């Protein structure tokens, strides 16, 4: 057991910091990750990352990666998340959509998609949740009916992030109409400009983030866009997500906000307020707890072991730290937090998303409880 970095990992972080310092204008430090999901700056920045193999460092070299360690993957995430996440919505492509195509794709699908993703040329969204199938994803009803060499897709997906900018949708649809639960589902890699596929924003109070409704009205796609065997999409997704359920290292961003609050405390006289130092300590410790639990999960991944429990623990700790930091920022800035674009406002919205984005935190708690108590179907 040891807690230091290998020379290669330390050098990677150092090179990455130099790159970020050279390439990112200072304003990026003030942006909430996701605020610019697919701007031209992000496209250009991702191209530069892609040229170095840093957009998909953990991928095999033949698909545009550098076969880097799992540690470098998280180092990359930490450095970029704490710099406003200038990869925009690319994280889904590189974290698990690409790996899903590597694992389950045909040679043609790999040849078409993987280089585009690793070069930063395309954006994706995920068509998972439906109005009656969120955390209970297996209740989804969107259908894809085989018609000769095609499928015809009908249904509606909701709360989809980054869809407005996406070139492709990683879509789950039911291909066996008689199936229930997680059987009879297939994955489709659907171009968002396919006729009948419409995307509209869902108005919300989350000004830092946009959600969309995806409507599929007799969307006809070639059977060649199906990923993996028909009716076995659940296994494709499960396998893909098993390698990336930590999500973005959001604790890195929360730690940066904590540091900013500490810096501002002197200027603004916050030190005189009751409990501020203890609450800053709480925020710092929560961020560091999330970091060390994420590292535990990465260690398991690097050694090829099951990381399920470690990921569950880490996800809960990440949500906790985001909420603690957000609540502190909101209160410290008081009335200023009401202004759109303010730190307090952004942190409030971040904390509202924290326990829901990337899956409900209750799912993580269920996972931990299962490991301690066994299944609860008794």
What's the Rg (C-alpha) of the chain? 21
Measured between alpha carbons, how far is 148 from 7 in angstroms, rounded to an integer? Answer: 56
Q: Which of 49, 101, 252, 343 binds other proteins (CB under 8 A)?
A: 252
Segment interacting with other proteins (CB under 8 A) among 106-114, 208-216, 220-228, 272-280: 272-280
Out of 68, 280, 326, 330, point to the residue binding other proteins (CB under 8 A). 280
**13 part of the interface to other proteins, by CB under 8 A:** yes
- What character string, x for contact with other proteins (CB under 8 A) and - otherwise, covers 222-251? -----------------------------x
String of b and e for 56-82 (b: at least 16 CB within 10 Å)? bbbbeeebbbbebbbbbbbbbbbbbbb
Residue 369 in contact with other proteins, rule: CB under 8 A: yes
* Cβ pair 376, 367 in contact under 8 A: no
> 26 is written with which tokens?
């200072």
Window of 53-61, 121-129, 235-243, 359-367 that interacts with other proteins by CB under 8 A: 359-367
Cα angle: 231, vertex 233, 235; to 5 degrees: 115
Piece in contact with other proteins (CB under 8 A), picked from 32-40, 177-185, 233-241, 273-281: 273-281
Residues 20-79 that bind other proteins (CB under 8 A): 20-21, 71, 78-79
C-beta of 101 vs 283, nearer to other proteins: 283
Q: Which is nearer to other proteins, 70 or 172 (CB)?
A: 70
User: CB under 8 A: which stretch of 45-53, 124-132, 238-246, 252-260 binds other proteins?
Assistant: 252-260
Contact flag: residue 1 with other proteins (CB under 8 A): yes
Q: Using CB under 8 A, which of the segments 45-53, 108-116, 203-211, 292-300 binds other proteins?
A: 292-300
CA-based diameter of the chain, in Å? 73
Of 284, 301, 311, 329, the residue at the interface with other proteins (CB under 8 A) is: 284
Instruction: Kindly tell me which of 214 and 283 has the beta carbon lying closer to other proteins.
Output: 283
Q: Label the pairing between strands 124-127 and 168-174.
A: parallel
Residue in 147, 169, 151 with CA at minimum distance from that of residue 215: 169
- Residue 374 interacts with other proteins (CB under 8 A)? yes
Cβ of 26: how many Cβ atoms within 10 Å?
A: 7
With CB under 8 A as the contact rule, the residue among 66, 295, 308, 331 that binds other proteins is 295
Which lies closer to other proteins via its Cβ, residue 71 or residue 91?
71
For residue 198, with 0-12 CB atoms within 10 Å meaning exposed, 13-18 middle and 19 or more buried, which class applies?
A: middle
Binding status of residue 5 toward other proteins by CB under 8 A: yes
Judged by CB under 8 A, the residue of 135, 292, 338, 341 near other proteins is 292
Name residues whose C-beta falls within 8 Å of residue 54's C-beta, 6 or more positions apart in sequence.
16, 19, 66, 76
Tell me if 261 contacts other proteins by CB under 8 A. Answer: no
For other proteins, the closer of residues 82 and 192 by Cβ is: 82
With b for 16 or more beta-carbon neighbours within 10 A and e for fewer, the 245-259 pattern comes to bbbbbbbbbbbbbbe
Q: Tell me if 293 contacts other proteins by CB under 8 A.
A: yes
Exactly one of 23, 230, 239, 299 binds other proteins (CB under 8 A); which one?
Answer: 299
Question: Which residue in the set 66, 143, 231, 366 belongs to the binding site for other proteins (CB under 8 A)?
Answer: 366
- With contact defined as beta carbons under 8 Å apart, do 200 and 216 qualify? no
Phi/psi for 202 (5° steps) reads -100, 115
Residue 317 engages other proteins in binding (rule: CB under 8 A):
yes
> How far is the C-alpha of 82 from the C-alpha of 75, rounded, in Å?
11
SS3 53: coil
- C-alpha–C-alpha distance, residues 143 and 134, integer Å: 16
Q: How far is CA 131 from CA 122, 155, 215, 289, in A?
A: 27, 11, 12, 34
Nearer to other proteins, 55 or 255 (CB): 255
Instruction: Report the interface residues with other proteins, using CB under 8 A.
Output: 1-6, 9-10, 13, 17, 20-21, 71, 78-79, 82-83, 251-253, 255-259, 262, 277-282, 284-285, 287-293, 295-296, 298-300, 303, 312-313, 316-317, 320, 362, 364-369, 372-374, 376-378
């Amino acid at each position: 057991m040891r807690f230091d970095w290998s020379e290669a990992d330390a050098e990677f972080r150092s090179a990455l910091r130099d790159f970020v310092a050279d390439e990112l204008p200072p304003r990026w430090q003030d942006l909430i990750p996701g605020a610019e999901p697919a701007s031209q700056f992000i496209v250009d920045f991702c191209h530069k990352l892609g040229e170095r193999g840093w957009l998909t460092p953990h991928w095999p070299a033949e698909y545009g990666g550098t076969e880097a360690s799992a540690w470098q993957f998280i180092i990359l995430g930490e450095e970029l998340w704490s710099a406003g996440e200038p990869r925009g919505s690319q994280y889904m492509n590189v974290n698990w959509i690409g790996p899903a195509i590597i694992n389950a794709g045909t040679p043609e699908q790999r040849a078409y998609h993987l280089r585009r993703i690793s070069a930063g040329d395309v954006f994706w969204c995920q068509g998972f949740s439906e109005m009656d199938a969120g955390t209970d994803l297996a209740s989804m009803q969107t259908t894809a009916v085989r018609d000769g060499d095609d499928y015809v897709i009908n249904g509606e997906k909701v709360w989809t992030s980054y869809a407005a900018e996406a070139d492709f949708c990683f879509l789950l649809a039911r291909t066996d109409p008689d199936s229930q639960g997680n059987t009879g589902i297939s994955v489709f890699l659907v171009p968002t400009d396919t006729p009948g596929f419409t995307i509209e924003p869902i108005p919300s109070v989350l000004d830092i983030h946009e959600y969309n409704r995806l409507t599929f009205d007799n969307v006809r796609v070639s059977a060649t866009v199906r990923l993996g065997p028909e009716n076995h999409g659940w296994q494709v997704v499960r396998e893909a997500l098993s390698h990336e359920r930590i999500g973005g290292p959001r604790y890195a961003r929360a730690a940066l906000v904590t540091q900013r609050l500490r810096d501002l405390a002197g200027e603004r006289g916050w030190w005189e307020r009751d409990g501020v130092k203890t609450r800053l300590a709480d925020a710092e410790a929560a961020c560091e707890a999330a970091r060390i639990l994420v590292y535990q999960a990465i260690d398991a991944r690097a050694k090829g072991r099951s990381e399920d429990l470690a990921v569950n623990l880490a996800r809960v700790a990440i949500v906790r730290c985001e909420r603690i930091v957000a609540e502190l920022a909101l209160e410290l800035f008081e009335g200023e937090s009401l202004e759109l674009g303010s730190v307090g406002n952004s942190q409030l919205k971040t904390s509202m998303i924290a326990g829901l984005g990337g899956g409900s935190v209750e799912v993580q708690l269920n996972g931990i409880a299962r490991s301690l108590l066994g299944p609860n179907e008794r």
